Chain A
Amino acid sequence: MIAFLVEPLDYEFFRRGLLAALMIGTLCGLIGVFVVLRGMSYIGHGLSHAAIGGAVVGITLNLNFYVGACAMGLLATLLINRVTQNNQIKLDAAIGLVTTAMFALGVAIISKLRHFRQNFEAALFGNILGISDQDLIMIGGITTITLVTIFFIYKPLLFLTFDHDAARVFGIKTGLVQIIFSFLLTFSVIASLNVVGVTMVAATLIAPAMTARMLTNSFSRVIVYSMIIGAMTGIVGMYLSYIFNVASGTTIVLFGTILFCLSLLISALRKNMRPIKF
Chain B
Amino acid sequence: MQAISFNVDSDSAIKLHNVTAGYERNIVFSDLSLEITSGQFAGIVGPTASGKSTLLKIILGTHPVMSGAIHLSTRSIEKAPPRTIGYVPQLDSVDWSFPITVEEVITMGLHDSGRIWPWPSRAERNRVNELASRLGVYDCLRQHIANISGGERQRAFLARALINNPRLLVLDEPTSGVDIKTQHEVLHLLGDLNSEGITVLLTTHDLNAVASHLPWVICFNKGIVAQGRPYDIFTNEILTKTYGGDIVIVKYDGHFLIANSTPLHFRDRHP
Contacts and interface: CB of A to CB of B under 8 A. Distances in A.
Interface string A189-225: 0000000000000000000000001001111111000
Main secondary structure of the interface of B (DSSP, over half): loop
Contacts of B47: none
Q: Which 6 A-B pairs have the closest CB atoms?
A: A217-B144, A154-B118, A155-B111, A169-B87, A219-B100, A169-B60
Interface stretch (B91-99, B174-182, B213-221, B224-232): B91-99
Main secondary structure of the interface of A (DSSP, over half): helix
A264 B258 CA distance: 49
Interface string B58-81: 001110000000000000000011
A108 interface: no
Contact of B81 (A151, A171, A213, A219): A171
A162 interface: yes
A216 B111 contact: no
A93 interface: no
Contacts of B101: 217-219
Contacts, number: 75
Contacts of A154: 118
Nearest to B83: A171
Given A154-B118, A156-B111, A220-B104, A170 B87 contact: yes
Interface residues of B, number: 30
Interface residues of A, number: 25
A152 interface: yes
Interface of A: 37, 151-152, 154-156, 158-159, 162-163, 165-166, 168-172, 213, 216-222
Nearest to B104: A219
Most chain B C-beta atoms within 10 Å of own C-beta, residue among A151, A154, A163, A168: A163
Interface of B: 60-62, 80-81, 83, 85, 87, 89, 93-95, 98-101, 104-105, 108-112, 116, 118-119, 143-144, 147, 170
15 contacts: A155-B118, A158-B111, A166-B87, A168-B60, A168-B61, A168-B62, A169-B62, A169-B81, A170-B108, A171-B80, A172-B111, A172-B112, A216-B99, A219-B100, A220-B118
